[in-house]
A and B are shown apart, each in its own frame.
Chain A
Amino acid sequence: MSQNNRTQQVDDNHVNSSQVDDHQEKRSHQNSQSRHQDRQELYDPTINLESNTCPNREQRAHGINVWYGQASQLIKEAKEGKLHACDRKFQQTSGCVLNFYLAVRLNTIRDAAIIFHAPVGCSSSALGYRELFRSIPVALGRPANYDLHWITTNIKENDVVYGAGNKLKFAIQEAERRYSPKAIFILTSCTSGVIGEDIEGAVNELQPYIKARIVPVHCEGSRSRLVQTGYDAFWHGVLKYLVKKPEKKQEDLINVASMLSYTWQDRLEITRLLGKIGLRPNFIPEFATVQQFEELSEAAVTAPLCPTYTDYLSKGLEQNYGVPYFLYPSPMGIANTDEWLRKIAEYTGKEKEVEVLIEEEHKKWLPKLEAIRKEFLNFKGNGEKIRIMGSLGQGRLLAHVPYFDEIGASSPAAMAQDFDNLILEEIEDVVNKVGDFKILVNTFQAAEQGHLTRLLDPDIALTCPFQGGAYKRNKGMTRIHALRSDGLPRSTQSGYAGAIAFANFLLQSLKSQSFQRTMLAKTDDTYKEWWYKQENPLYYLDKEEA
């Protein structure tokens, strides 16, 4: 795609044109290697900490919210710059930039407080936090004291008309008084965005009088239809306000940003593996301390659990503090975990130790994998593979599709909440490895997922607890992942223990039909037959906008 084309396209997406010029100017000064340039065409690799926040995913990486077809075609269209976000004529409820992720995760930062600059309802999803995490035993490392440090400015009618700046300032002072935190996060909302609240003005005015570091996070829901923009906005605030210049290098420290869908056992498994080669994970954000954020700049490398989640942080740390990073693979599945550990070893000089570790682990786990693989391969008894279709998301799309291959199953299709060019090269690698498959890009649209599940009729359907929910069917049916608050070993998915635990979990879902029997007997149909008879799962897509 030529530079001109790109400009045109970005303009179409209503980007301030001077901003585009600015970016292009920066780009022109950059490294001229062709691969690097190609990447620049696909997404904006620079992290500009001088601005108040990140661009949204739509602008930064041509993120889209809906698409259906072959992965190879998606890759082709992405490269040609043909992808764009679309509206639906009918849409089920969806997540928002503030609430999908930030409202739930930031509470867990132990010595921080969080202020929602929003009408009171916007912060409601934060309140389940204690209940969510209570089931993890303290013995497993969950902090005994994890009170909710939560304040909302409760923006009302008068505040909308007159501005809510004073309320925000009061809330900051109140957060300091109540919790004496080390950091105060301000989460913005659609309302504060629409009335143009001067968040940075309030922060700059109060910071000299406040001991805690104040971190504004621009997560106005109306900014973007992709919840991933919330990740970037959060990391932007962290990079700009919280990360300190490195005082020393901590050669054994590995930054690992982990999201909601990785469980407590994943955390333990990763800690175990890194510990065996003398390394320590710096897990952020949940249950981290503010100091852990400050020290992100001192780590040896930033390693991914999910590339689309960690991308902005990884690039920001590299560009500002020289912390190297890699984004692929995630440590899910045996081969991916080997590769993940080897990559970390490259940056920490642990090449030898890692090979010893891998050998040890293989001895323990490969026989188990082989047994499970056999069961999967022989399950149908006719030589056909078990077909698994999962509501994976961008991160798991890259990790799980090869993983299903590894355990002897196949993946006719995968679903993701969104798609952007950040994972384009990686998804191409996956297609090269395991062959082509179908992708449904679909932000929280359970009806479309139900439709595609009926259409492709996989042996196991994996639904996302956030977007799919359970629906009744005769064949295998379970959830794609647990939440962080699930402390059970069987819910692990990461590392070697996770590869085996998850494979077992999938196998169980094939063998045990009690869930399906109950669902079939006890629940009504969610959708009418009419819906399933429509040819296209994207029946409600508004084609006119294209």
Chain B
Amino acid sequence: MAKIRNIAIYGKGGIGKSTTSSNISAALSEEGYKIMQIGCDPKSDSTNTLRGGRFVPTVLDRLRSGKRVETEEIVHEGFNGILCVETGGPEPGVGCAGRGIITAIELLKQKKIIEEYSPDIIIYDVLGDVVCGGFAMPIREGVADQIYTVSSSDFMSLYASNNLFKGIKKYANSGGALFSGVIGNSINLPIHEEIIQDFAANTKATIAGFVPRSLTVAKAELQGKTTIEADPDSEQAELYRQLAKGIIDNENRYVPNPLGTDELKAWAESWYDRLLEHNTSRSQNPQGQAAVKNDLSYYSLKPDNANVRVR
């Protein structure tokens, strides 16, 4: 059996990591790879767009039933033969979602499900603030070997990425996964790319690619499909294919350098000034700038957010 590529994709909730993961899975399956996508989020909707918008029974649901767990009950085939797994988790407000991820991944190991299906690539789609040990499970030894983060230029999203870097650094010396790049998402303006690039430079991280915000994606999602499936000839689909190819070719693995709390704050504040400057210079040039609001919130990086409170 050839070595399996284990890739984990982290990101703040709602930032587009499931969309990105599913499109990467779809693009790679087109290339002939056998893909398994494992959603590690109690919302259990990571693989929905690979399955016509339908939820699949989760590993933990099966486990909870108390009956013997059959592999076909937790591995579901989706678009282009992609193997879809959802770890699942408790309903909001009870139990422990982090422990749920640990339990589910342990079960996948015990049941030798990965050996049984023998995929070429496994994509773990993980809820991304790494708030506890459970959500760090895919980083730890023996699960993923390459980590990506999906982030917009929004400060809170980059904050989540920085937390992920802390998690990677913690486990790096004990055989944990290493980092392979930031996937910039929801890009509208060049300055969004600049912010993410500057964050990457400051944390000694690399950029895996940028994905612009696009109506094509939203349309596809509403149909319960990935962009690759719904609109294969679109520019956006092509972008995802390039991103997927980049990820497959990327063997670069390293420990990023997370910023400390104060450094992160100082970095964000430095952008406040630059955004102000940027905004002013654009306002002074009326050509083609009618849509630009004289408001910093336009750039996502709000000064309010910059004042993040850290305990």
CB distance from B89 to the nearest CB of A (A): 7
Contact with B along A150-166 (1 / 0, CB 8 A): 00000001111111110
- The answer for the CA separation of A164 and B64 in the assembled complex, in Å, is 12
- The answer for the CA separation of A159 and B96 in the assembled complex, in Å, is 9
* Cβ-defined contact, B103 with A195, below 8 A: no
Question: Using a CB-CB cutoff of 8 Å, which residues 342-391 of chain A contact chain B?
Answer: none
- The answer for the CA separation of A158 and B94 in the assembled complex, in Å, is 12
Residue B90 contacts which of A157, A162, A194, A198 (CB distance < 8 angstroms)? A162
* Cβ-defined contact, B64 with A158, below 8 A: yes
* Cβ-defined contact, A163 with B95, below 8 A: yes
CB distance from A199 to the nearest CB of B (A): 12
Contact with A along B89-111 (1 / 0, CB 8 A): 11100111101100100000000
Contacts of A157 in B (CB 8 A): 99, 103
Residue B103 contacts which of A161, A163, A194, A198 (CB distance < 8 angstroms)? A161
- The answer for the CA separation of A162 and B60 in the assembled complex, in Å, is 9
* Cβ-defined contact, B103 with A162, below 8 A: no
- The answer for the CA separation of A163 and B97 in the assembled complex, in Å, is 10
A-side interface mostly: helix
Contacts of B63 in A (CB 8 A): 158
Contacts of A198 in B (CB 8 A): 94
Contact with A along B43-66 (1 / 0, CB 8 A): 000000000000000001001100
Contacts of B103 in A (CB 8 A): 157-158, 161
Contacts of A194 in B (CB 8 A): 96
* Chain B residue with the shortest CB-CB distance to A161: B100
Q: How many residues of A contact B (CB 8 A)?
A: 13
CB distance from A348 to the nearest CB of B (A): 51
- The answer for the CA separation of A157 and B95 in the assembled complex, in Å, is 10
* Chain A residue with the shortest CB-CB distance to B132: A194
* Cβ-defined contact, A195 with B64, below 8 A: no
Q: A157-B103, A195-B99 are in contact. Are A163 and B64 (CB under 8 A)?
A: no
* Cβ-defined contact, B96 with A165, below 8 A: no
Q: Among the interface residues B60, B90, B95, B99, which one has the most CB atoms of the partner chain A within 10 A?
A: B95
Total contacts A-B at CB 8 Å: 38
Contacts of B60 in A (CB 8 A): 161-162
- The answer for the CA separation of A160 and B101 in the assembled complex, in Å, is 12
* Cβ-defined contact, B94 with A165, below 8 A: yes
- The answer for the CA separation of A64 and B90 in the assembled complex, in Å, is 38
Q: Among the interface residues B60, B63, B91, B94, which one has the most CB atoms of the partner chain A within 10 A?
A: B94
* Chain B residue with the shortest CB-CB distance to A157: B103
- The answer for the CA separation of A163 and B94 in the assembled complex, in Å, is 5
Question: Using a CB-CB cutoff of 8 Å, which residues 115-149 of chain A contact chain B?
Answer: none
- The answer for the CA separation of A162 and B64 in the assembled complex, in Å, is 9
- The answer for the CA separation of A157 and B100 in the assembled complex, in Å, is 9
Contacts of A162 in B (CB 8 A): 60, 64, 90-91, 94-95, 100
- The answer for the CA separation of A295 and B112 in the assembled complex, in Å, is 61
Contacts of B100 in A (CB 8 A): 161-162
Contacts of A165 in B (CB 8 A): 94
Contacts of B90 in A (CB 8 A): 161-163
- The answer for the CA separation of A159 and B100 in the assembled complex, in Å, is 10
- The answer for the CA separation of A159 and B99 in the assembled complex, in Å, is 10
* Chain B residue with the shortest CB-CB distance to A14: B311
Q: Among the interface residues A159, A165, A195, A198, which one has the most CB atoms of the partner chain B within 10 A?
A: A195
- The answer for the CA separation of A314 and B63 in the assembled complex, in Å, is 49
CB distance from A68 to the nearest CB of B (A): 33
Contacts of A164 in B (CB 8 A): 95
- The answer for the CA separation of A161 and B62 in the assembled complex, in Å, is 13
- The answer for the CA separation of A160 and B60 in the assembled complex, in Å, is 12
- The answer for the CA separation of A158 and B89 in the assembled complex, in Å, is 10
Contact with B along A188-205 (1 / 0, CB 8 A): 000000111010000000
- The answer for the CA separation of A165 and B96 in the assembled complex, in Å, is 13
* Cβ-defined contact, B96 with A160, below 8 A: yes
Contacts of B97 in A (CB 8 A): 161
* Cβ-defined contact, B99 with A160, below 8 A: yes
Contact with A along B168-184 (1 / 0, CB 8 A): 00000000000000000
* Chain A residue with the shortest CB-CB distance to B94: A163
- The answer for the CA separation of A165 and B91 in the assembled complex, in Å, is 12
Contacts of B91 in A (CB 8 A): 162
- The answer for the CA separation of A292 and B87 in the assembled complex, in Å, is 51
* Chain A residue with the shortest CB-CB distance to B98: A161
Contacts of A195 in B (CB 8 A): 94-96, 99
Contacts of B94 in A (CB 8 A): 162-163, 165, 195-196, 198
Question: Using a CB-CB cutoff of 8 Å, which residues 156-181 of chain A contact chain B?
Answer: 157-165
CB distance from B218 to the nearest CB of A (A): 33
CB distance from A8 to the nearest CB of B (A): 16
- The answer for the CA separation of A160 and B91 in the assembled complex, in Å, is 12
Contacts of B89 in A (CB 8 A): 161
- The answer for the CA separation of A194 and B97 in the assembled complex, in Å, is 12
Contact with A along B248-259 (1 / 0, CB 8 A): 000000000000
* Chain B residue with the shortest CB-CB distance to A194: B96
Contacts of A160 in B (CB 8 A): 95-96, 99
- The answer for the CA separation of A160 and B104 in the assembled complex, in Å, is 13
Question: Using a CB-CB cutoff of 8 Å, which residues 74-94 of chain B contact chain A?
Answer: 89-91, 94
Q: Among the interface residues A157, A162, A163, A196, which one has the most CB atoms of the partner chain B within 10 A?
A: A162
CB distance from A316 to the nearest CB of B (A): 31
* Chain A residue with the shortest CB-CB distance to B106: A157
- The answer for the CA separation of A279 and B144 in the assembled complex, in Å, is 72
- The answer for the CA separation of A195 and B134 in the assembled complex, in Å, is 12
- The answer for the CA separation of A196 and B132 in the assembled complex, in Å, is 14
CB distance from A261 to the nearest CB of B (A): 37
CB distance from B292 to the nearest CB of A (A): 42
- The answer for the CA separation of A194 and B96 in the assembled complex, in Å, is 8
- The answer for the CA separation of A38 and B90 in the assembled complex, in Å, is 48
Contacts of B96 in A (CB 8 A): 160-161, 194-195
- The answer for the CA separation of A195 and B64 in the assembled complex, in Å, is 17
- The answer for the CA separation of A195 and B96 in the assembled complex, in Å, is 5
- The answer for the CA separation of A198 and B93 in the assembled complex, in Å, is 10
* Chain B residue with the shortest CB-CB distance to A197: B94
* Chain A residue with the shortest CB-CB distance to B88: A161
CB distance from A128 to the nearest CB of B (A): 31
CB distance from A192 to the nearest CB of B (A): 11
CB distance from B222 to the nearest CB of A (A): 31
* Chain A residue with the shortest CB-CB distance to B97: A161
* Chain A residue with the shortest CB-CB distance to B89: A161
Contacts of A159 in B (CB 8 A): 95
- The answer for the CA separation of A157 and B103 in the assembled complex, in Å, is 8
Contacts of B64 in A (CB 8 A): 158, 161-162
* Chain A residue with the shortest CB-CB distance to B64: A158
- The answer for the CA separation of A60 and B60 in the assembled complex, in Å, is 41
CB distance from A188 to the nearest CB of B (A): 15
CB distance from A202 to the nearest CB of B (A): 11
Contacts of B95 in A (CB 8 A): 159-164, 195
CB distance from B99 to the nearest CB of A (A): 5
- The answer for the CA separation of A163 and B42 in the assembled complex, in Å, is 14
- The answer for the CA separation of A262 and B63 in the assembled complex, in Å, is 48
Contacts of A196 in B (CB 8 A): 94
Subset of 15 A-B contacts with CB under 8 Å: A157-B99, A158-B63, A160-B99, A161-B97, A161-B99, A161-B100, A162-B60, A162-B94, A162-B95, A163-B90, A163-B94, A164-B95, A194-B96, A195-B95, A198-B94
Closest 9 CB pairs of A and B: A163-B94, A163-B95, A161-B100, A195-B96, A162-B95, A162-B90, A160-B99, A161-B95, A161-B99
- Which residues of B line the A interface, CB within 8 A? 60, 63-64, 89-91, 94-97, 99-100, 103
Known contacts A161-B89, A198-B94, then 12 further A-B pairs from the complex at CB < 8 Å, ordered by chain A residue: A158-B64, A158-B103, A160-B96, A161-B64, A161-B103, A162-B94, A162-B100, A163-B95, A165-B94, A195-B94, A195-B95, A195-B99
